[in-house]
Amino acid sequence: MPSSWGELYRSAPLRDAEFETLSGIPVAPVYGSEGPVDPDDEATQSEELPGKFPYTRGPYASMYRSKLWTMRMFSGFGTAVDTNRRFRDILGAGGNGLSTAFDLPTLMGRDSDDPKSEGEVGKCGVAIDTVEDMLDLFDGIDLSKVTTSMTINSPAPIILAMFIQAARERGMDHAVLGGTLQNDILKEYQAQKEYRFPPRPSVRLVVDTFRYCSAEMPKWHPISVSGYHIREAGSTAAQELAFTLANGFGYVEAGVQAGMDVDSFAPSLSFFFNSHIDFFEEIAKFRAARRIWARWMKERYGAKDARSTQLRFHTQTSGVSLTAQQPQVNIIRTALEALAGVMGGTQSLHTNSMDEVLALPTERAARIALRTQQVIGFETGVTNVADPLGGSYYVEFLTDEIEARAEAIFAYLDDLGSGSMLEGIYAAIENGYFVNEIANASYQIEKKISSGRRIVVGVNAFAEDNDEDQIPILVIGEEVETEQKRRLAKVKSQRSSEELARALMNLKRAAVDPFQNTMPLLIEAARARATVGEIMNALEEIFGTWRESTAI
């Protein structure tokens, strides 16, 4: 590895692109307080630069001059066959990463034939019940070349097990698989509410994926610590940042408590942030996130591997900022939010479609959303320079202010846990702190919109075109649920009941023993064609269920 920032700066490969403005002005990779940065100039050694601890200006020295972010489009609807067609379209249109949206029954760990799933199968994402669905989902897609993200939490280890088993049945070594499992259960108790088990055994399952992936899947990120859903629930930018990083610190503590060396798993941790509509605040949030993570990992958790201190993240533009009124205006909102993500240094980006506030995206709307990223990446010139807003008085002020607000929240959680961030999070879940803070923040912003203090185009101002801006939307018919139930019934009729019972019993025995990793047993259950719901029910017998009891 390069031993200095200068070596890192010079060794970075370059994209096949002209690094100059449209009028031909040459553009240097990095600018500092005195202009273009010379890596051999001693004066640069004291400056905060991209690729240099604490990475405020970016985790890599040359940023997008070397490689653009992954254009990872989020998609999923209907059956696995339906979503596979959309995946192929995304890849054919120039997308270079996939992100899977699951339907509500799958997110809750329920099968498509569960009475509680009625009316929801395939509606908000793809229905996944068994390994057969996973095989169809990625049919014809080379998973050794395309990275895959899976946005699921409580049943996340089960979905990973099915993904691994599907790859094996396709003749692939799971060690070559690259991608990310969201697997962030703590934020479910704080914001999204898609949980089944209590927090402590749920975190144990997360740590089991850390241990398994650390040993078996070097290219896989076993968690994407997510602020996105916290922000969509109504938090402020500072709360999104603080709650997310606190959860990240909590997972680090859980891994260390399980006997793992911090540097054995921390480099594989990834993050997922919202890019909202306040352009400069979002950029500052991303910069503050990197700085906080770097310092805490080094100073509090003793990380020695530089990769453990480099926060890398995926960004999705804000769904809650989009409006049902004048939906075509959402293209503009998404473009600005995507640009903020890029200016903030994201490693991966999903751009929302203009129709997502009305329904799942149509193929045309999803294509426009992808083209938005491509215009930013290939036409605007913002990728020619690492951290082009570094040194802006306003951006630096906002970065410092958001960091200070986040640190105040960390202090509260740390004190609540008597010096343990993880215990503080558990306590704050139980006392309703997160729910109350998010609800209050959401209430304040809605008051501003209702009073007209905050203008939202097409909602409380400039609404004259609202009746004219109708667009076609994607409709998921009842036949999808019928077809998915048929597919599930076929799998159940062809599997061995003896193998199924044995696999589920072995899993329950492993779940009882906190020192045994459940992942190999989850893969065994997937191989026996246990369904997502059957596996969740088996674990529920051991772990119990969680019900939120604190009123706001």
- Give the Cα separation of 145 and 147 in Å (integer): 7
- Give the Cα separation of 404 and 309 in Å (integer): 19
| C-alpha 42: how far from chain center | 39
| Short-list 424, 431, 440, 413, CA closest to 550 | 431
**Identity of residue 189:** Y
- Give the Cα separation of 221 and 214 in Å (integer): 9
Residue 430 binned pLDDT confidence (cut-offs 50, 70, 90): very high
The domains of the chain, with CATH numbers, are 5-46 (no CATH), 63-451 (3.20.20.240)
Residue 508 binned pLDDT confidence (cut-offs 50, 70, 90): very high
The whole-number average pLDDT for the span 498-518 is 97
Residue 550 binned pLDDT confidence (cut-offs 50, 70, 90): low
Residue 5 binned pLDDT confidence (cut-offs 50, 70, 90): confident
pLDDT exceeds 60 at position 552: no
Location of structure tokens 């540097």: 263
Please give the C-alpha separations between residue 86 and each of 22, 99, 140, 144, 164, in angstroms, as whole numbers. 35, 11, 12, 19, 22
Task: Dig out the tokens for 518 from the structure.
Answer: 């459940």
The whole-number average pLDDT for the span 506-528 is 97
Q: 344-387: per-residue pLDDT in tens? A: 999 999 999 999 999 889 989 999 999 999 999 999 999 999 99
Q: 142-181: per-residue pLDDT in tens? A: 988 889 999 999 999 999 999 999 999 999 999 999 999 9
- Give the Cα separation of 180 and 292 in Å (integer): 22
- Give the Cα separation of 183 and 187 in Å (integer): 10
What's the pTM value of the predicted model, to 2 decimals?
0.95
Question: Rounded to 5 degrees, what angle do the CA atoms 377, 386, 228 make?
Answer: 65
Residue 12 binned pLDDT confidence (cut-offs 50, 70, 90): confident
Least confident of 7-11, 168-172, 212-216, 330-334: 7-11
pLDDT at 200: 98
Could you please report the per-residue DSSP string of 247-302? HHHHHHHHHHHTT--HHHHGGGEEEEEEE-S-HHHHHHHHHHHHHHHHHHHHHTS-
- Give the Cα separation of 335 and 103 in Å (integer): 27
| Short-list 543, 545, 538, 540, CA closest to 507 | 538
pLDDT exceeds 70 at position 248: yes
- Residue 328: CA count within 13 A, CB half-sphere: 8
The whole-number average pLDDT for the span 72-86 is 91
The DSSP output letter for 225 is: E
pLDDT exceeds 70 at position 217: yes
pLDDT exceeds 60 at position 40: yes
pLDDT at 46: 77
pLDDT at 294: 98
pLDDT at 2: 67
CA terminus-to-terminus distance, the chain: 51
pLDDT exceeds 80 at position 232: yes
Q: pLDDT exceeding 90 applies to what percent of the chain?
A: 86
H helix intervals, 100-198: 104-107, 131-137, 156-169, 186-187
Q: 269-322: per-residue pLDDT in tens? A: 999 999 999 999 999 999 999 999 999 999 999 999 999 999 999 999 999 999
Chain mean pLDDT for the chain: 94
Task: Dig out the tokens for 348 from the structure.
Answer: 């991966």
Q: Give the pairing type, strands 179-181 and 220-221.
A: parallel
pLDDT exceeds 60 at position 1: no
Beta bridge partners of 31: 36
